[in-house]
A = this chain, B = another copy of it.
Amino acid sequence: MPYIPHTPDDVRAMLERIGARSLDDLFDEIPPALLVPSLPGVPDALSEMDVSRLAAERAAADGRPLNFIGAGAYEHHIPAPVWALVTRGEIYSAYTPYQAEASQGTLQIMYEYQSMIAGLTALDVSNASLYDGASALAEACLMAVRAHRRSKSARILLPETVNPAWRRVVRAITGGQGLQLDTLACDPASGRIDPASLAAHAGEDVTALVVPQPNYFGQLEDADALTRWARANGALVIAAVNPTSLAVLKPPGEWGDGGADIACGDAQPFGVPLSSGGPYVGFMACRMEHVRQLPGRIAGRTVDLDGRPGYTLTLQAREQHIRRAKATSNICTNQGLLMSAATIYLALVGPAGLERVARACIARTSELVAALTRLPGVRAAFAGPRFHEAVLKLDRPVAPVLAALAGEGIIGGHDLARDYPQLGDALLVCATEMRTRADVETYAKALGRLLGRAAAA
């Protein structure tokens, strides 16, 4: 009986104490018609050894191709201590720290994490994680509506330069509450928010403007100007940012005049593996005036009976287990383990290390763009400063090219055809500090061969 410690003696003695004759007796309040005799859809048990073999075969089948996609999930080096530490049983197998005195480890890590996120974003207060970047943006939109009492429109300006998957999530999550999501167009020349599209909203009751930085295409938006526009038009600013970039880019709290009100994003780049899409870790920070609208757990520092410092969950009146239908969000379980991983990642990498990572990303992506655009039939879609992603335009449809590259063990980028048909044959590529010069060359050679071969054919 895997994981069950009961001996036949135990079962006998326990049933006797209960006053039941059999295990089946214990289910005698369930209407008999509801009892099922078996589960044909669940295979028979395998030993750990057999499942290990099966899993190893499947993982090997997925392999480790050379990856040049970012698009919301970034392949960074994960320092070896990170997962050695967070998989320690005391972290890994603990619940949400409801019993503070027996959970000071988790609580102090939450407090440290909040401090780091606040520091990175230059905002006052951070929660201790949301699910992921996409859902964090959705929560930010809902939060903005709650926080901006004077605005009655629940209108959020959501630029096309925001990750399209995130925009879909915002739509799905905010749909029930009737938010009005107005799309801001992308300027096809710059790959940034079209100023005209923004200007069209001047004078309207706008609750909040979402500012992605860098945007989905890797381009840097003019966050200062956008924030100033929002201030001038009475709208809050929601910054949707890549956390690694905050080592080198102006933080949301310092944008424009007075900074953004809320910053959110995905802290996956901080020590969390790609892992086919999750678990990642959404972050959210805001100015102190909005703290009571912030969703999610928050750890606070306080003192114990002896006056010694200690940590506890605080401002719980925002949360569902206290406020129920009136809570700031329904979130309960969050992404604690990944929050811990991010904290340890940041402690290890430190300010200088994070800056190096960010700079290496910028440099490597520039090299990648330079190497690929040297090939005939490939050009950069946008000029202007960028972080670690770029859009390339090909002289032919992207999908078959990517499939051919995958056959050579190269994941060559993300095809924008579905989400941005207006961009033509556009490919989103990314190179982090993990891609070496040799990797860039490998890619360039393979692509050159493919494009050349196809051209010759």
Contact = CB atoms under 8 A, between A and B. Distances in A.
A88 interface: yes
B80 A49 contact: no
A91 to B, nearest CB: 12
Contact of A79 (B48, B56, B64, B79): B48
Contacts of A53: 434, 436
Contacts of A47: 77
A22 interface: no
Interface string A45-76: 00111001100100000001000000000000
Interface residues of A, number: 16
A49 B436 CA distance: 11
A84 interface: yes
Interface SS of A by simple majority: loop
Interface in A28-58: 47-49, 52-53, 56
A4 to B, nearest CB: 14
Query: Which of A48, A80, A87 neighbours the largest number of chain B CB atoms within 10 Å of its CB?
Result: A48
A84 B84 CA distance: 9
Query: Which of A77, A80, A436 neighbours the largest number of chain B CB atoms within 10 Å of its CB?
Result: A77
Interface string A430-442: 0001101000000
Contacts of A88: 88
A441 B78 CA distance: 41
Nearest to A433: B49
Contacts of A79: 48
B48 A80 contact: yes
Interface in A78-113: 79-80, 84, 87-88
Contacts of A49: 77, 433-434
Contacts of A433: 49
Contacts of A80: 48, 52
Contact of A84 (B48, B64, B77, B87): B87
Nearest to A80: B48
Contacts of A87: 84
A211 to B, nearest CB: 31
Nearest to A353: B47
Interface string A185-205: 000000000000000000000
Nearest to A77: B49
Contacts of A52: 77, 80
A162 B211 CA distance: 74
Contact of A48 (B48, B64, B77): B77
Nearest to A76: B49
A56 B436 CA distance: 15
Nearest to A63: B60
Contacts of A77: 47-49, 52
Interface in A384-400: none
A216 B64 CA distance: 40
Nearest to A51: B80
Nearest to A79: B48
Nearest to A348: B48
A394 to B, nearest CB: 29
Nearest to A357: B49
A152 to B, nearest CB: 51
Interface in A104-144: none
A84 to B, nearest CB: 7
A356 B49 CA distance: 13
Q: Nearest 3 pairs between A and B by C-beta? A: A49-B77, A48-B79, A88-B88
Given A47-B77, A53-B434, 10 more contacts: A48-B77, A48-B80, A49-B77, A49-B433, A49-B434, A52-B77, A52-B80, A53-B436, A84-B87, A88-B88
14 contacts: A47-B77, A48-B77, A48-B79, A48-B80, A49-B77, A49-B433, A49-B434, A52-B77, A52-B80, A53-B434, A53-B436, A56-B64, A84-B87, A88-B88
